[in-house]
Structure 1
Amino acid sequence: MTDFNKDFNIKIKQIMIEQTHAFATLATCLLLGLLGAILFNSHDWGINISLFGLLLAGGLLLLRHLDHHPISLAEYALVASCLFFTLTFAWRDSLVLNSLSLLGILLIAHLAFTLSTRQKLPRLEISEAFLDLFLLTRHGLTSYHGLVYQDIHWKDVQQRWGQLGRAIIRGVIIAIPLLIGFGFLLMESDARFEETVRYFLDWDLNAKTVLQYVITLILCSWIAAAVLRGNLSDQSLGSAYQDTPQNRLPLPAWGLGCVEIGIILGAINLLFLAFLAVQFTYYFGGDALVQSLEGPTYANYARRGFFQLVMVALCVMTLLLFIHWLYKPYHRFEKRLYQSLAGVMIVMTMIIEASAAHRMYLYTKEYGLTELRLYSSVFMVWLVVLFLLFSVTVLRGYRALFTFGGILTALFFIGLLHIANPDAWIAEINLIRLQAGKPFDVDYMSKLSADAIPTLVKNRPEVPTSSHCQLWEELQYHRVLRASTDWRDFNFARYQGRELLQRESLICE
């Protein structure tokens, strides 16, 4: 009987601890939702996202500390990486970079979910990654409901705190009219006190503002619940989404043999070989062939071909992974067959990508650099890295390492783009072309983000007078001069660009 009472008391204590953690998580989510509603009641994105990310990370660390659940080195790395991408919203102004930062945050959330459910990161099958993406979406949509209606036992709360709660509600109901009455009398008795009260109560609220606050509060608290709910002792993600047959993608009942593999990959390799045979005439012909009247123009040769060739590389990667998933080799020869044909296809795809790079080089040299051309080129380089990674992982029998490596390289490229500052790079290259006497699109340059303004202002003395004045006049209408000055919208690039444009002066005759 003593052992039974001891076990019962331990169980009751454990339930109380879990309920305390559930209430702490709910309170943290509501607090973060309220702070998020205040931070995002602005006109633009900037330091508000960075601060919300820091608050979310702080809430995560606090709940882990209360739960006596230490954070592993891998989790620290994920949190630090996520904070980096939230800080970039207060650093760079480019819409493309901000979108890539959001993509980076989602990729890190995917890795964090996988680490919590499967307790592994490096060895992650592609099918598991897609399944985890679905489970992560489901977890994000149902976290708040699960926290409120599953993790917290409201019947026990009502029995334990119901009388106190009802007393608090009665006290509030009685106190509110008394406060209003006495407050009205005191305001009538003193003009200074009336002015002070009106100042603090004048929130300039309307139906639209209130609705915006409510929606933002719900969204921010929902995001917080999706991140923080997994910290509950009994409702961790690992127990909620165990690696069971129900949480695995079913393997296909049919597969591909060596005959099908030989026909599919062999036919595509022959097609690629024929394409490369034609491309070599361009390589050896150079600009003279491209500019000839009989041959293709720069626009047809470069603009039309580049994006299609990048799409070819993306399709090849998808095809090789899908075929490898379906291929069931029974002998060493069959395994070598796929490796050989896939290796040949990768080599020819790399040569095709070299052709795409050559086309983009010619097009950029003639027409200048734009965001689309730059980011497409970077995407092509990332695909080349993926092909190299595919060669050292999938072709050598380590397919489970490919997914994690691909996500890491994507995060690395996104971070590298933030450091490189693409818009400033675009502005600098086009200014060099202008100094060389080539066409310069002033209208496009003036519409780049605030990241490019320091480069444009710094190099303006080297710009010819006609383009100099036109560029400066266009910059006087840059959106950064109309951007919000609210502290929640602070962005270093916008602040720096606005200061430069307001400080510099130019007189054009």
Structure 2
Amino acid sequence: MPAAALAAGLATGLLSALLLGDGIGVNLLLIAVPAALAAAFAAILAGRRIRPWTVVWGTGGLALLTVPALREAGWPVFLTFVAAFAAGALALHGSRTWRGIVLAPVGLLGAMPAGAVWGWRGLRARAGARGSLGPVLRTGGIAVGLLVVFGALFASADAAFADLVGALAPDVSVAEGPVRVLLFAVGLVGALGAARTAAAPVRWDLLPVTPGRPRSRLEWALPLIVLNVLFAAFNAVQLMVLLRGYDAVLSQTGLSNAAYARQGFWQLLGATLLTIVVIGLAVRWAPRDGARDRILVRAVLGTLCLMTLVVVASALRRMDFYVDAYGLTRLRISVAAVELWLGVVLVLVLAAGALGARRLPLPRVVAASALAAVLGFGLLSPDALIAERNVERYERTGTIDVGYLDGLSADAAPALDRLPEPLRSCALRNIAHDLDVAGTPWYALSLGEHRAQRILDARGISTARYDCTPDRDGDPYDPYGDYGEGEGEYGDGDGDGGSGGDPYGDY
């Protein structure tokens, strides 16, 4: 256990205990830096070299941890945290194959108990060696003592300096002691596990895997060719719909706008997922006797990928059509983002088939695209985009569901601030109720919360004169009539199958 890695692990535990008890913000990035240094010190001592893909995974993981400092919404922040953990696991293991990429996070979790034992042995070894640990402890104790004593003197001598120290230093009470100790242990064990993995990673890529038995050309190609014909027929129908327009198709099928768009999207999303599974199985059992087999595989699977890309475009078009009619929600933007990423995966499969596995390492590139998609999704601020699209729709149609929008995070405040009163105050009331910028430390706040607080300080909200709960019988609080009734928002006209239910139905 390198002394530098052990010190970095202790710093990670200390920062975790001080910064993690008050919320999530830039503190995650501050804690990740010494943990990454612990892994780097351990890897250097073990003789591991830093490779280009290690830099990609490491910088990508740290970039993902900037999202909590920018966005307040919990759901994209959770996704970025999971993706950052996966990126760190890939950086430590250096995985190249599909099984290595999938099992790398498991390996990092499994290394944490071993890392704790490794750290304890390293600490005991240095404590037993004369003169190795004592000077370090004495130096650290003297530095902390001087900082506390002179910091307290300066704070009592100058009110401005006292305010600065109070704003920057964490507020730790005795009652929070057990929680802080637990956070210290989690941070320390996590950093030591990362260091242990960096020094001696499990080589998941070397696990033996039985290759698939190659099939004959006819046995392999015939089902896929039939599938390609089916995709071609479906895409031809989509082209006819595009040329004729949705109105003609709806009058012929008897479906409503919502039923046609919503049902079609889910089916097409499922078709895209199944197609990727089929391609993976087809590659495993593809014939591999020579150049003719390679040409056959590339032609059949390339055609299937191109056909599926048309399906992806059709699914996204249907979602856009549905959002224009009934507004954007978290579920809708999430599944649309997944469909878009699946389209990127298909393009990467096409590129790998054309360039070869040596020029384009497909497992790594697909994993990198997933991390980039999660990072882009978080930086895009989905709650802000949802509010923006729904406000634009209100300005265009005069209908809006404030009951849904008032559940968004502080990221949505700039867009909701554009609404007229009383809709504005009703949409912002929950944000104002949950926001506590003054009582939250700087390291646990996001940029979205700061912006929302500025908006509320500038204009405030007032809901004392009206009820912000819309009445489904046509008597809502606001002066805007029946609050969207008759537009398919609350009745059965949107094809959601409900009777006066949620305007977003089961979707």
Same fold (TM over 0.5): yes
1:29 & 1:54 partners in 2: Cα distance?
A: 10
1:30 to partner: Cα distance: 3.1
Give the aligned partner of residue 430 of structure 2. 477
1:272 to partner: Cα distance: 2.5
Corresponding pairs, count: 426
| 2:90 is equivalent to residue 111 of structure 1 | yes
1:345 & 1:304 partners in 2: Cα distance?
A: 23
1:506 to partner: Cα distance: 5.7
Contact kept? 2:393, 2:399, Cα under 8 Å: yes
1:109 to partner: Cα distance: 1.4
- Indicate which of 366, 391, 401 corresponds to 2:361: 401
Deviations 1:367-394 (A, max 9, x none): 0122222232222222212111111113
Give the aligned partner of residue 374 of structure 1. 333
Provide the TM-score with structure 2 as the length reference.
0.74
Contact kept? 2:425, 2:462, Cα under 8 Å: no
| 2:321 is equivalent to residue 362 of structure 1 | yes
Instruction: Give 2:424's aligned amino acid.
Output: L
1:437 to partner: Cα distance: 2.1
1:358 & 1:83 partners in 2: Cα distance?
A: 34
Give the aligned partner of residue 331 of structure 1. 290
Give the aligned partner of residue 227 of structure 2. 268
Give the aligned partner of residue 280 of structure 2. 321
Structure 1 gap ranges (5+): 1-18, 119-123, 169-201
Give the aligned partner of residue 228 of structure 1. 195
Deviations 1:424-455 (A, max 9, x none): 22222221211112421112222222111122
Give the aligned partner of residue 190 of structure 1. none
Q: Indicate the SS of the match to 1:477.
A: helix
Q: Indicate the SS of the match to 1:476.
A: helix
1:203 & 1:133 partners in 2: Cα distance?
A: 33
- Indicate which of 479, 494, 497 corresponds to 2:449: 494
Change (3 A) 1:295 1:283: farther
2:372 & 2:401 partners in 1: Cα distance?
A: 32
Matches within 5 A, 1:284-295: 284-292=243-251, 294-295=253-254
| 2:107 is equivalent to residue 135 of structure 1 | yes
Matches within 5 A, 1:182-221: 204-206=173-175, 209-221=176-188
| 2:76 is equivalent to residue 91 of structure 1 | no
1:452 & 1:39 partners in 2: Cα distance?
A: 26
Instruction: Give 1:503's aligned amino acid.
Output: A
Q: Indicate the SS of the match to 2:361.
A: helix
The structure richer in helix per residue is 1
Q: Percent identity?
A: 24
Instruction: Give 1:104's aligned amino acid.
Output: A
Give the aligned partner of residue 46 of structure 1. 25
Deviations 1:120-143 (A, max 9, x none): xxxx33244335454344334532
1:349 to partner: Cα distance: 1.0
| 2:206 is equivalent to residue 251 of structure 1 | no
Change (3 A) 1:319 1:139: farther
Instruction: Give 2:426's aligned amino acid.
Output: E
1:295 to partner: Cα distance: 2.0
Contact kept? 1:107, 1:407, Cα under 8 Å: no
Change (3 A) 1:76 1:314: same
Structure 2 gap ranges (5+): 138-170, 466-507
Provide the TM-score with structure 1 as the length reference.
0.73
Change (3 A) 1:373 1:229: same
Deviations 1:234-273 (A, max 9, x none): xx23xx54588xx323223633332331133123223333
Change (3 A) 1:294 1:332: closer
Contact kept? 1:394, 1:402, Cα under 8 Å: no
Instruction: Give 1:471's aligned amino acid.
Output: R
Deviations 1:211-255 (A, max 9, x none): 423332221111111222356xxxx23xx54588xx323223633
Higher mean alpha-carbon deviation, 131-140 vs 264-273, is at 131-140
1:365 to partner: Cα distance: 1.2
Give the aligned partner of residue 80 of structure 1. 59
1:70 & 1:277 partners in 2: Cα distance?
A: 53
| 2:416 is equivalent to residue 456 of structure 1 | yes
Change (3 A) 1:142 1:312: farther
Deviations 1:331-387 (A, max 9, x none): 333222222221221122112122212211220111012222223222222221211
1:337 & 1:68 partners in 2: Cα distance?
A: 45
Larger RCO (CA under 8 A, 6+ residues apart): 1
2:128 & 2:186 partners in 1: Cα distance?
A: 31
Q: Indicate the SS of the match to 1:292.
A: helix
1:421 to partner: Cα distance: 2.7
2:61 & 2:218 partners in 1: Cα distance?
A: 46
1:288 to partner: Cα distance: 1.0
Change (3 A) 1:456 1:159: closer
Contact kept? 2:114, 2:196, Cα under 8 Å: no
Contact kept? 1:40, 1:488, Cα under 8 Å: no
2:36 & 2:107 partners in 1: Cα distance?
A: 22
